[in-house]
Amino acid sequence: MKKSIILSMASAVALSFGALPAGAQECPIKIGGIAPLSAPGTVVGGEAMRDAMLIAEEDINAAGGVMGCEVDVVIADSEGLPEKAAAIMEKLITQDGVVAVGGGYHSSVGVASKDVADARGVPVVFAETWNDTITGDKQKYIFRIAPLSSWASSTIWQHSLLVPGIKKAAILTENTDYGIPASEETKKGLATGGVETVIFSVDIGTQDYAGIVERIKAEDPDIIIVLATGEAGYNFQQQAADAGIGSMDVPFHAGQVSLESKAYWENVPDGNMAFVQRIGVPENLFTEKAKNFAKVYKERTGKDGVESYAMEAYDSIAILAQAINEAGSTDGDAIVTALENISHEGTLGRIYFPYGTKKDPSEDGKGDEWWHQWPDPALTVIQYQADGQSSVDAPIVWPDAYKTGDPVYVNE
């Protein structure tokens, strides 16, 4: 990144990071960042998160660093695999010497790695891992700024119930700690509207969907919902389109990776009219910090928009930097105390954690999953309505609070 760009952002982020004079702390201060950078993980999502976390590193250092030290964000590739997750968390802590960890895309990675960090007393702010149990275990050192899976699933099923004449839904899901509970939660939600649901499960990274597509086609669903991560979702959607049950034939909720517009249209040329869930407010409602980050991110990546998981990744590192400064220490317990008391002005908005050791979620009638959980992520549904359209320009069709256009239902 050009030095002028870094310096132009320094004043915008200085207050958030709150640089302090150097003390006895050994420099640089290392913060881990987890992202899927190899298959079968969601590589385009992992690359977006990596770029965002490195921009956060540059912004923090341009604003004076942490406790007077520069920050070094150490990126680890999860490959989207739970069996890899625990090992890379262990390596980040015991070999790389990180004092805290951000990032994380796949729920299965979060589920598999959180116990390692908690046992080692190293705070983690997960960026994009949705499974409710990640915070539901009420572990002292685990925090999350992504939405809960149960909450995110409700966005999809509530919007799906608006499809005219809907009686049956087909769900394609992955056999992971994200896909299995998400599909069951979506099925339960659709049942409240009298909708029958058929679930088809596949392994993460599946490429050939011919058999699944034919089975879904035989069910004659009124909507198809994809609850699978990664670029393999592109293959399913295009193969479904080739079979006459794509997004221009049947109302179709595509996977979140479909927000990567360039890759989406290259892989799914028949992907028009698809619905996609997105986290965060539209760009016209971005805070100044979000606008500054988006500008640099677009220049860095050549993209025409910024994905929600990139913003989450950036904020996960930035909030840890602020917590370390406010703690005045890299001690895990001190960072946890700072996180439980934090008010961080992030790209996603004001981030805070109302529940934890000071106040149990049960005191407000909430479940354990709200422990160390940010309660305010905005959840929306967009729809591609023109070939080659950017996800940034695609209209938000749900909910009404953020709506910028009306949905088109291809079965009407």
The CA radius of gyration of the chain, in Å to the nearest whole number, is 21
| Distance in angstroms (rounded) separating the CA atoms of residues 363 and 238 | 47
Amino acid 10: pLDDT: 42
* Mean local confidence (pLDDT), 212-241: 94
What average pLDDT does the structure give for the chain?
A: 92
The pLDDT of 352-361, averaged and rounded, is 97
Give the separation between CA 107 and CA 105, rounded to whole angstroms: 7
Q: Sorting pLDDT into bands at 50, 70 and 90, what band is 5?
A: very low
CA distances from 138 to 118, 175, 232, 371, 381 (A): 10, 24, 33, 6, 30
Cβ neighbours around 186 below 10 Å, total:
27
**Backbone angles phi and psi of 307, in degrees to 5:** -80, 155
Question: Whose structure tokens read 């990144």?
Answer: 1
What is the rounded CA–CA span in Å between residue 7 and residue 250?
49
Please, which residues bridge with residue 125 across strands?
102, 143
Q: Give mean pLDDT, residues 339-361.
A: 97
Place of tokens 């899901």: 173
Structure tokens belonging to residue 32:
């881990």
Q: Which two tokens stand for residue 403?
A: 């709506």
| CA atoms of 126 and 103, how far apart (whole Å) | 5
Measure the CA angle with vertex 229, ends 227 and 235; round to 5°.
Answer: 90
Q: What percent of the chain has pLDDT over 90?
A: 84
Q: Which range has the worst mean pLDDT, 96-100, 134-138, 259-263, 311-315?
A: 259-263
Calculated CA dihedral for residues 356, 126, 176, 39, nearest 10 degrees: -170
The reported pLDDT for the residue numbered 110 is 97
The answer on pLDDT for 20 being more than 70 is: no
Give CA–CA dist 217/223, Å, rounded: 11
Q: Is the model more confident about 357 or about 11? A: 357
Residue 218 has pLDDT above 70, yes or no: yes
Question: What pLDDT is attached to residue 103?
Answer: 98
Whether the per-residue pLDDT at 85 is higher than 50: the answer is yes
Instruction: Give pLDDT tens digits for 108-134.
Output: 999 999 999 999 999 999 999 999 999
Say yes or no to pLDDT of 239 above 70.
yes
**What domains, with CATH codes, occur in the chain?**
3-147+286-370 (3.40.50.2300), 150-282+379-398 (3.40.50.2300)
Contact (Cβ atoms closer than 8 angstroms) between residue 328 and residue 128: no
**C-alpha separations of 302 from 50, 260, 332 in Å:** 15, 12, 37
* pLDDT for the residue 233: 86
**Contact predicate 226/186, CB 8 Å:** no
Helices (DSSP H) in 192-243: which residue ranges?
210-219, 232-242
pLDDT at 76 > cutoff 90: yes
Nearest of 194, 163, 193, 156 to residue 178 by alpha carbon = 156
Which residues fall within 8 angstroms of residue 346, CB to CB, at 6 or more apart? 16, 145, 289, 311, 314, 315, 318, 319
The stretch 11-19 carries a mean pLDDT of 44
**Above 90 in pLDDT, residue 24?**
no
Give the pLDDT of residue 170.
98
Task: Give every CB contact of residue 227 below 8 A, 6+ residues apart in sequence.
Answer: 153, 156, 171, 172, 173, 174, 178, 179, 182, 183, 186, 255
In 41-125, which residue ranges form alpha helices assigned H by DSSP? 43-62, 82-94, 107-120
Q: What is the pLDDT of residue 22?
A: 37
Once rounded to an integer, what is the mean pLDDT over residues 287-302? 96
**Minimum mean pLDDT among 240-244, 297-301, 304-308: which range?**
304-308
pLDDT band at 17 (very low <50, low <70, confident <90, very high): low
Rounded Cα–Cα distance for residues 341 and 327 (Å): 10
154 pLDDT above the threshold of 50: yes
Q: What is the pTM assigned to this prediction?
A: 0.86
